[in-house]
Amino acid sequence: MNRKLVFNILGRLLTALAGLLCLPAGVSVYYAEWRSVAAFILTAALSVVLGVSMQLPTRRHSGVLYAREGFLIVALVWVVASAIGALPFVVSGEIPSYIDAMFETVSGFTTTGASILPDVESMSRGMLFWRSFTHWIGGMGVLVFIIAFLSNVSERSIHILRAEMPGPVVGKLVPRSKDTSKVLYIIYIAMTLVLIALLMLGGMPGFDSVVHAFGTAGTGGFGIRADSIAGYSHYLQWVISIFMLLFGVNFNVYYLLLIRRVRAAMESTEMWTFFGIVGISAALITANIWPQYGSFWESLRQSVFQVSSIVTTTGYATADFNLWPSFSKSILLILMFIGACAGSTGGGLKVSRLVILFKLIFQEIRRMLHPRAVTTVKFEGKQVEEHTLSSVATYFAVYMICIILIFLLLSLEPFDLETNFTAAVSCFNNIGPGLAAVGPMGSYAGYSPLSKILLTLAMLMGRLEIFPMLIAMNPSTWKKR
């Protein structure tokens, strides 16, 4: 393992993180929240000292980046960024427990949106901004940011992109991976700015517009009100619904539209499957909750918002869906597993994997009926290679094992089965709210410190799609070549 390269990139992350902490510090200055200002400045100073101290002895390193280093760097960067990012909450005293602060920060960076705060409205503006800003940073990926905006990054950093970007396959949009990262961020920033403008045009205050745009763009879902989005106008709820879905689409589609390859963009099987799932789910839930609301349009709005929020793993809410019929809650639970498209800011299993898994099942049935027939699996008009099929099947098996283990360990807590199961599914799929005690109007505050650590690890494993974390925990990874 190239340890010098790993620690050099970690050091660069910490210095970049110090710069990012200046934004919430500026917000705190604007609102005269001096305790928060001190917390951000002290954390930024510590981040700079650690970052520089890690870079100085590793300036001369081999620039060769292999897959093993790529996975390891991704895992370590997310853990270190979260560990440092949690400090402002503790230093300011707004979240005294470091375990709670780490849970909240990991939930932010992984765009989960699960919270241990029973009274979010008591938080200072600077801390609320930092919570939502972690969503925006983590939505596209912490290291995608570094590759895009820092110089002298190895062109073999595609290994980092593959390890950090969600989905079964990550490729380059343009010849150089550094340029790929810039393209992704340009699209990401442009869509975020459009969303902020639309929210402000709808009468949402400037601060609220920015933090909710961060949460929507990163499909994170940290709210700044106890009722999440319910207190805002119907126009604002529709805008957020639409943009949650837009950020749940593979960003390759937007790149193709950007270079005017409209036909290629519109031929995306994954995108149309994603919208089909959303449409069918919203229609079924609308019909199911219509008697409860007594109005078709009210039922439609509530249904579309919650379906968009859950399938994109955002986690915003306009209603307490704990009170909905079991059929509607069951659909939302299924959507928690499906998630958004590969290459989006959303979490979950991913629509592309779901499509490939179903095609694998039908391929196996055809093989059983016609043993001598040559069968292939196609996706997006191309034949899927055998190693990709194998990796998708392996990922699904490990994915289910992880959720089962997390659920079993959470079952030691004094909560009902619905709470523990949906907490495991929600955190691992980076959704945020579950059902029962961890529903949209509840929180994770009641879990013990050990369970919070478990759920924190679950959020990291889910966001990084398991293997980078498993590789980082494998002792053989750390051996020198």
pLDDT (tens place) for every residue of the chain, 481 residues total: 667 777 888 888 899 899 999 999 999 999 999 999 999 999 999 999 999 988 877 666 555 666 677 778 888 889 999 999 999 999 999 999 999 999 999 999 999 999 999 899 999 999 999 999 999 999 887 666 655 555 454 444 444 555 555 555 444 444 444 566 778 888 999 999 999 999 999 999 999 999 999 999 999 999 999 899 999 999 999 999 999 999 999 988 998 898 888 998 898 899 999 999 999 999 999 999 999 999 999 999 999 999 999 999 999 999 999 999 999 999 999 999 999 998 888 889 999 999 999 999 998 898 888 888 778 888 877 888 888 888 889 999 999 999 999 999 999 999 999 999 999 999 999 999 999 999 998 999 999 999 999 999 999 999 988 888 888 787 776 666 5
Note the pLDDT of residue 468: 80
Residues 69, 457, 185, 230: what is their CA dihedral angle, to the nearest 10 degrees? 180
Please report, in angstroms and rounded to a whole number, the separation of the first and last CA atoms in the chain. Answer: 6
* pTM, rounded to two decimals: 0.92
What's residue 336's pLDDT? 96
Residue 75 confidence (pLDDT): 85
pLDDT at 9: 81
Instruction: Provide the Cα torsion 176, 178, 181, 182; round to 10°.
Output: -100
pLDDT, position 158: 47
